[in-house]
Amino acid sequence: MTGAFQRLQESLNEAKIAATHKVNEITTMNEKIVEMWPNKDSVERSGNRLTTDSGTKVYDADHWLKVVDPSTGHHGPSLLEDQIAREKIHRFDHERIPERVVHARGAGAHGYFKLYTPIPEFSSAPVLNDTARSTPVFARFSTVAGSRGSADTVRDVRGFAVKFYTEEGNWDIVGNNIPVFFIQDAIKFPDFVHAAKPEPHNEVPQAQTAHNNFWDFQYLHSEATHMSVWAMSDRAIPRSFRMMQGFGVNTFSLINAQGERTFVKFVWTPELGVHSLVWDEALKLAGQDPDFHRKDLYEAIENGYYPKWRFGIQTVAEKDQDKFEFDILDATKLWPEDLVPVNYIGEMVLNRNVDEFFAETEQVAFCTSHVVPGIGFSDDPLLQGRNFSYFDTQITRLGVNWEQIPINRPVCPVMNFNRDGALNHRIHKGKVNYWPNRFEAVPPASHKQETDSYQEYPARVVGLKLRVNGAKFREHFAQAQLFYNSLAEYEKKHVQAALAFELSHCDEPIVYKRDIDLALAQNVANMVGGDIPKEGRQNHGRKAPGLSQTDLPAIRPSIETRRVAMIIADGFDIGVLTAVRAALKAEGATTWVIGPRRGMIFPTGVDPESGTGGLMADHHLEGQRSTMFDAIFNGRAVHWVREAFGHLKPIGALGDAVSFLQQAVVLPGVDLAADPNSDEVVISYGVVTGWKSSVGILRSLDIEPSTSV
């Protein structure tokens, strides 16, 4: 009877889960996903029965056709004539496509963009004016230097590419999580990427800039100084894709209905605030969980915690183009927010994971040249080159018809006479394949009058053909100083430590010759064994808002989606554990039970011999590490606790574990528990509900964050 009741309850639960998924499915479907749906459906339906690619049913896909001696039962050679086996192997042999030449490793998700403030004064683009619209988007986050199989948490810039499937065509913002770039002119890109990628003679190192060639390039290109300091800062080791900013980096333009142009930079700011790992954590995670970031994004979306970014614009009127000390078309310079404030006008929410990584995340292809009417380019020499490069690289990666691949197709109609090429999926009817023609009567000139067609801004261009950039492009240090000056003291220390780490991996330490800041140069030189400079470049001492991560806290501080490890051993208090878990769950955190073994752990009062009444541990202490969690509770294992402490994480403890915690770590300035025998939850660095970032808590406790355990 009990068994039947239990089964009934299980099936009811399953039905409930299925119904919830259905609802989620419907609410997260958008125009783009609906448009892609027929393809998925046909694949799913044919999946019930194995067929060849040409549709013939197959009864055995497990044995190659062979010659068999019926008298002995021994088989002879496999037959080449087996077209079914041949097809399977052929298809497998050609599964790989070239990985992206940069940004090879990434993860993506679907979502939508919603505008809350129309900007007709700047742009006529409906996506930036129609607040009733929900524009489907696909976002892909990536590291830059590593191969497809490299680790997520390496020190690197992160790509932040967003494709808007607007009703007027696809608009791609192909950005990074750092607002500036290493080089000013696109012609330098191959040199820069070669220098950053593994060295040619031995293909070492993987996914790291800690090598001679990268720093050699930096030394020879002082324009790279500004971005290098960003790349050595905490921005280059984000806690999560969900907790980093995105920047379009290049200067684009907005064009309004009157045909007037305004220069613009695009920025995404996460609602969760900007947070980073500490270096020691990042290093360890690269080995312990190389998929840390892609799993984090996937799990958050699966659990219904949809990451959200506010979308902002910084605008500069055409008449003000020359009023700044830097050139606004120089991608190695940012527009300081005190000079050009960010105006947040919309938001992006990612609410649906991909169904198939290859078909969607791998085959998605972005182009900076994809803009829609009302949005244009600028003469930023990096952007000009990018507009050529992206389309071109997609041809190598995906073939000339890459825009017909489901994830890349626009949701609006496409009509032109681009034809043929490998893997053309469209079947065009009609007798003509040129324009204009005798059937389509509208002469091209009349299209000019249509407001919804793309109109280039008629910029006036006069001059000499010369291989140069503007005069202000020659200044390379002022903003590197501005960024460094704006960092909190502990952020500066992280930059110093990062530089020292990188240069320790080089045979020729050279950074101290390029002094952004005298103290920085002296410290780094001291650590890597270089000549310690006595005089430095004059520091202008200026700072700007929005550059330190401490200026970018969460809009609504929350423990949502944070991972909390509950460490238990036999004899634990199940009542308290259940209550704490429930409290954490109610706040949106995920809890994981870690025990001395992955099996039943028995609470006080339960006889282990009985084999029942225990709690199943999700993992054992060796199977997972403290690095994979944001906080730990009831720390019993010395290494876990010390490591988590060194990584600035909140540590909770109960009862006996309080004195253990006190012995395991020395907590300067923190009175761990007034009464060690109290049953109250004791938290060292945070509070269970109303989460504050570890760093924030540390600062409030006036403890210096350090990366050492």
**Closest residue by Cα to residue 139 from 294, 408, 350:** 350
Using CB under 6 A, pick the residue from 126, 159, 307, 406 that binds ligand HDD.
159
Q: Which is nearer to ligand HDD, 296 or 643 (CB)?
A: 296
- Write the DSSP assignment of 657-702 as a string of letters: HHHHHHHH---TT----S-TT--S-EESS--SSS---HHHHHHHTT
CB-CB contact of 507 with 543 (8 Å): no
Q: Is residue 505 among the annotated active site residues?
A: no
Q: Which is nearer to ligand HDD, 140 or 581 (CB)?
A: 140
- Angle, CA 335 vertex, CA 333 and CA 338 arms, to 5°: 140
Q: Which is nearer to ligand HDD, 99 or 587 (CB)?
A: 99
Using CB under 6 A, pick the residue from 123, 166, 170, 176 that binds ligand HDD.
176
* Phi and psi based region of residue 209 (left: phi greater than 0; alpha: psi -120 to 50; beta: remaining): alpha
Q: Is 390 known to sit in a ligand binding site?
A: yes
Using CB under 6 A, pick the residue from 140, 261, 293, 581 that binds ligand HDD.
140
CB-CB contact of 255 with 376 (8 Å): yes
Note whether 269 binds ligand HDD by CB under 6 A.
no
Note whether 390 binds ligand HDD by CB under 6 A.
yes
Note whether 170 binds ligand HDD by CB under 6 A.
no
Note whether 652 binds ligand HDD by CB under 6 A.
no
Note whether 235 binds ligand HDD by CB under 6 A.
no
Note whether 354 binds ligand HDD by CB under 6 A.
no
The two three-digit tokens of residue 296, written as one number: 């984090």
Note whether 174 binds ligand HDD by CB under 6 A.
yes
**Closest residue by Cα to residue 348 from 35, 641, 137, 578:** 137
Note whether 249 binds ligand HDD by CB under 6 A.
yes
Q: Which is nearer to ligand HDD, 142 or 591 (CB)?
A: 142
Q: How many CB atoms lie within 10 A of CB 438?
A: 7
Using CB under 6 A, pick the residue from 28, 124, 142, 624 that binds ligand HDD.
142
Note whether 103 binds ligand HDD by CB under 6 A.
yes
The two three-digit tokens of residue 132, written as one number: 């009733």
Q: Which is nearer to ligand HDD, 208 or 250 (CB)?
A: 250
Note whether 139 binds ligand HDD by CB under 6 A.
no
Question: Considering 103, 275, 370, 476, which one is annotated as catalytic?
Answer: 103
Note whether 102 binds ligand HDD by CB under 6 A.
yes
Q: Which is nearer to ligand HDD, 205 or 385 (CB)?
A: 385
Q: List Cα–Cα distances, 609 to 568, 572, 574, 605, 612, in angstroms.
A: 18, 16, 18, 12, 8
Task: Compute how many residues bind ligand HDD; rule: CB under 6 A.
Answer: 26
User: How far apart (Å, rounded) are the C-alpha atoms in residues 647 and 664?
Assistant: 15
Considering only residues 105 to 134 of the shown chain, the ones binding ligand HDD according to CB under 6 A are 106
User: How far apart (Å, rounded) are the C-alpha atoms in residues 262 and 208?
Assistant: 38
- Distance linking the first and last C-alpha atoms of the chain: 55
Using CB under 6 A, pick the residue from 154, 161, 196, 350 that binds ligand HDD.
161
Q: How far is the CB of 311 from ligand HDD (least distance, A)?
A: 16
Note whether 533 binds ligand HDD by CB under 6 A.
no
CB-CB contact of 360 with 138 (8 Å): yes
User: How far apart (Å, rounded) are the C-alpha atoms in residues 486 and 233?
Assistant: 12
Question: Considering 170, 176, 250, 351, which one is annotated as catalytic?
Answer: 176
- Write the DSSP assignment of 373-424 as a string of letters: TTEE----HHHHHHHHHHHHHHHHHH-TTGGGSGGG--SS---------TT-
Note whether 333 binds ligand HDD by CB under 6 A.
no
DSSP SS3 for 78: strand
Residues with Cβ within 8 Å of 39's Cβ and at least 6 positions away in sequence, in order, are: 406
Task: Tell me the three-class secondary structure of 182-235, residue by residue.
Answer: CCCCHHHHHHHHHHHCCCCCCCCCCCCCCCHHHHHHHHHCHHHHHHHHHHCCHH
Q: Bridge partners of 160?
A: 141, 175
Using CB under 6 A, pick the residue from 118, 205, 341, 385 that binds ligand HDD.
385
Using CB under 6 A, pick the residue from 239, 275, 386, 562 that binds ligand HDD.
386
Using CB under 6 A, pick the residue from 113, 164, 181, 691 that binds ligand HDD.
181
Q: Which is nearer to ligand HDD, 138 or 633 (CB)?
A: 138
Note whether 169 binds ligand HDD by CB under 6 A.
no
Q: Is residue 176 among the annotated active site residues?
A: yes
Q: Which is nearer to ligand HDD, 15 or 97 (CB)?
A: 97
Note whether 186 binds ligand HDD by CB under 6 A.
yes
User: How far apart (Å, rounded) are the C-alpha atoms in residues 313 and 125?
Assistant: 14
Q: Site residues (CB under 6 A) for ligand HDD? A: 100-103, 106, 140, 142, 159, 161, 174-176, 181, 186, 189, 249-250, 331, 365-366, 382, 385-386, 389-390, 393
Q: Which residues are catalytic?
A: 103, 176
Binding residues: 390
Binding residues for heme: 390
